[in-house]
Chain A
Amino acid sequence: MLETLSLMGAGFVNALTPINLLMMAAGVAMGIVIGCMPGLSAAMGVALMLPLTFTMKAETGLIVLGAIYCGAIFGGSISAILIHTPGTPASAATAIEGYQMTLKGKAGKALFTACYASFWGGLLSCISLYFFAPLLAQLTLKFRSAEYFWLSIFGLTIIAGVSGKSITKGLISGAFGLLLSTIGLDPVTGAKRVMFGQAYFAEGINTTCALIGLFSMSQVFILAEKKIVERAQATKFTDKMSLTRDERKMIRPTIVRSWLIGNIIGILPGAGAAIACFLGYNTSKQFSKHKEAFGHGSIEGVAGSEAANNAVTGGSLIPTLTLGIPGESVTAVLMGGLVIQGLAPGPELFGKYAAMTYTFFAGFVLVQFFMLGIGLLGCRGFAQISRLSDAILIPCVTVLCCVGSYAIHKNILDIVVMMTFGVIGYLMRKFDLNTAAVVLALILGPIGEKGLRNALKSSGGNPMILFSSVVCWVLIALCVVGILSPMFMGKLEKKAEKEATGADPESPDEVVDIDVEND
């Protein structure tokens, strides 16, 4: 206990160095810019900025990525409130009440509420991160090769089912990624495997290039296929960005409820901020003493949605850092950042690398304060950025994708690989396949392979070793749950969305008038 407390304290001391503080501010600002632009998504932003963290210390790099993540989730609310177009799907529910407030000349109040609720949601989520992450990491100490194999499969079943229309297609995406992960030298014998006659592929497919291609470059093609239209003028607001004492008191219970919802949703692999925002919004409506205000600009509605989506951030880091199972696209990219730094999720992060991990946690706490400050001070400026045309974003993001890929090994072939994955990612998204599952498979593939082969080696080739322990069976059961959970989560999201907007998201006749541009 005392040791943990001292690690926590040391984490804050390390996180408070000038370079870390500077990086937090820069990361949050970048995240808000990315989040408030309806053409860009949080996962894309984190992927794009990944190469910038290569030369940084592991903790600083992770803090930057965490800052971009938090900033982007909050940033989505700015365009949701001012132009009725959520920057990210996580702010879809915010647009319902936020835009109504804007129409009534209360945009400043709505933005303050979003910022304030996001801050508390994010900050409170750090409590569970500090509390649950080390406990869960201890569990993995019991894992042997066979368990690691099943863990990699579990991770894939979880992510494969997320955000796609067909679970089978999600699983196909994961299997496709696993197959791609076999490219390169055999990790055990060193034999060449599917290298297309190129020594470049000896180390396999560069995960970062694949990641940038699948998330960022494919988004460029998605933007390029659409007709370029001028975005709506962001409303210029003149009202004060503040809440009265009574209003703050009123939204306090809403924030606490949404924190709990967001946190649980974040911890559950397979669910994400998009679900949390609607659940947070609906719960705030159910418990509100001013139900009549909902649909006409309720600050409780804005607070409920924003606290919930930001509470997801800390929660979602728990399975990512402890089990290596990211629950959604952004944390899959974050895990890529962890792996690139030469770190593996699990007990080592809380043992050998505890100082680094607790510095990251402390940084994550401080990031929430930067989000509050930068969010409040820069709202007016960010609102103007959110109008940036896709026509400008297309070449700019292309250039950043190319430079980012090149920066890894200073090899132009990396750009070619990134571009190839950009096209693959675009086609995958068009045909409802899951790009996040491919990325995760590329990361988990080698772990699964080592687990499978070492297990078979130790048993003399007997596959029954994969079913030899209770933990194996628990993981197999979790795999089944992982496959089935998207059906439940999908229904939960649809139900929450239906309750929030009053329209059936499946019905073409009842169109919800919120334009969510990202996935």
Chain B
Amino acid sequence: MKMRKTDIGVVAFMYLVCAYFYSQTITFKADSQTYPKFTIVLLFGLTTLYLLQMVAAAKKHGVESGVDKVFADVQPVQLLVCLVGAIAYVVLMYFFGFYISTVIFMAAILLYLKVPYLHSAIAIVAILALVYFAFGKFLGVRLPVGTVIKALR
């Protein structure tokens, strides 16, 4: 199997994680350093082993980009909209509470994904009812009210 250039990112990320955790670990008391150091060495060693495997694969079979395989058939805009939408949903929930933010988030995403209006309405009502009864009533979870709504009250 050819070496994938995309795996360089994986290796670099793992080395960065090791470096960050090491920089933190050396500030701990000696006794607290044992186990984190063990895991850092383990991750570092395995990442280096993988790097060596990559080099061996590159020498034997050559190198390929890997982007076309890792992100084959990916719809970047759609993915980004859903990701940003999910983050915005959490932010909205903090300010406006669960129910309002859920209606806005679901309506926006369903509209963007071109789901028929009737299906969208059914999905929103079904999810709100499920959460209300399963979490609100059955588990007794007080769902976020939202800072803005709290202030308005």
Among B34, B39, B78, residue most surrounded by chain A Cβ atoms (within 10 Å): B39
- A448: chain B residues at CB < 8 Å are 35
Contact with B along A120-154 (1 / 0, CB 8 A): 00000000000000000000000000000000000
- B14: chain A residues at CB < 8 Å are 172, 176
- B109: chain A residues at CB < 8 Å are 394-395, 398
Give the residue of B24, B82, B90, B115 whose beta carbon is less than 8 angstroms from that of A392. B115
- The main secondary structure of chain B at its interface with chain A is helix
- B38: chain A residues at CB < 8 Å are 452
Docked-complex contact B93 and A224, CB < 8 angstroms: no
A477 contacts B by Cβ under 8 Å: no
- B24: chain A residues at CB < 8 Å are 193-194
B148 contacts A by Cβ under 8 Å: no
Say yes or no: A191-B89 contact (C-beta < 8 A), given A395-B109, A399-B102, A452-B34. no
Say yes or no: A224-B6 contact (C-beta < 8 A), given A175-B39, A416-B90. no
Closest to A407 in B: B141
Among B70, B71, B109, B120, residue most surrounded by chain A Cβ atoms (within 10 Å): B109
- B102: chain A residues at CB < 8 Å are 399
- B130: chain A residues at CB < 8 Å are 400
- B49: chain A residues at CB < 8 Å are 168
Among B134, B138, B143, residue most surrounded by chain A Cβ atoms (within 10 Å): B134
Interface residues of B in 32-60 (CB under 8 A from A): 32, 34-36, 38-40, 42-43, 46-47, 49-50, 53
- A189: chain B residues at CB < 8 Å are 29, 31-32
Q: Which among A37-45, A225-233, A325-333, A496-504 touches the partner chain?
A: A225-233
- A182: chain B residues at CB < 8 Å are 21, 35-36, 39
Docked-complex contact A172 and B46, CB < 8 angstroms: yes
Classify chain B's interface size.
35 or more
Closest to B130 in A: A400
Among A175, A221, A228, A430, residue most surrounded by chain B Cβ atoms (within 10 Å): A175
Say yes or no: A431-B39 contact (C-beta < 8 A), given A224-B79, A406-B141. no
B123 contacts A by Cβ under 8 Å: yes
- B36: chain A residues at CB < 8 Å are 179, 182, 193-194
Docked-complex contact A430 and B113, CB < 8 angstroms: no
Contact with B along A164-197 (1 / 0, CB 8 A): 0010110110011011011000101101011000
Closest to B86 in A: A398
Say yes or no: A415-B93 contact (C-beta < 8 A), given A172-B50, A189-B31. yes
- A236: chain B residues at CB < 8 Å are none
Docked-complex contact A402 and B89, CB < 8 angstroms: yes
Closest to B14 in A: A172
Interface residues of B in 86-131 (CB under 8 A from A): 86-87, 89-90, 93-94, 98, 102, 105-106, 109-110, 113-115, 119-120, 123, 126-127, 130-131
Docked-complex contact B114 and A399, CB < 8 angstroms: no
A355 contacts B by Cβ under 8 Å: no
B151 contacts A by Cβ under 8 Å: no
What is the bound-complex CA distance between A389 and B90, given in angstroms?
A: 24
Docked-complex contact B98 and A403, CB < 8 angstroms: yes
Docked-complex contact B83 and A224, CB < 8 angstroms: yes
What is the bound-complex CA distance between A55 and B14, given in angstroms?
A: 38
Say yes or no: A407-B39 contact (C-beta < 8 A), given A166-B50, A172-B47. no
Say yes or no: A399-B105 contact (C-beta < 8 A), given A392-B110, A412-B144, A452-B38. yes
Closest to B74 in A: A225
A21 contacts B by Cβ under 8 Å: no
A290 contacts B by Cβ under 8 Å: no
B142 contacts A by Cβ under 8 Å: yes
Contact with A along B2-30 (1 / 0, CB 8 A): 00001101100010011001001100110
- A166: chain B residues at CB < 8 Å are 50, 53
Say yes or no: A191-B32 contact (C-beta < 8 A), given A168-B53, A402-B90, A419-B90. yes
Say yes or no: A431-B123 contact (C-beta < 8 A), given A171-B46, A176-B17, A395-B109. no
B152 contacts A by Cβ under 8 Å: no
- B143: chain A residues at CB < 8 Å are 403, 406
Closest 9 CB pairs of A and B: A391-B113, A224-B82, A175-B43, A395-B109, A178-B39, A225-B79, A449-B35, A186-B32, A182-B36
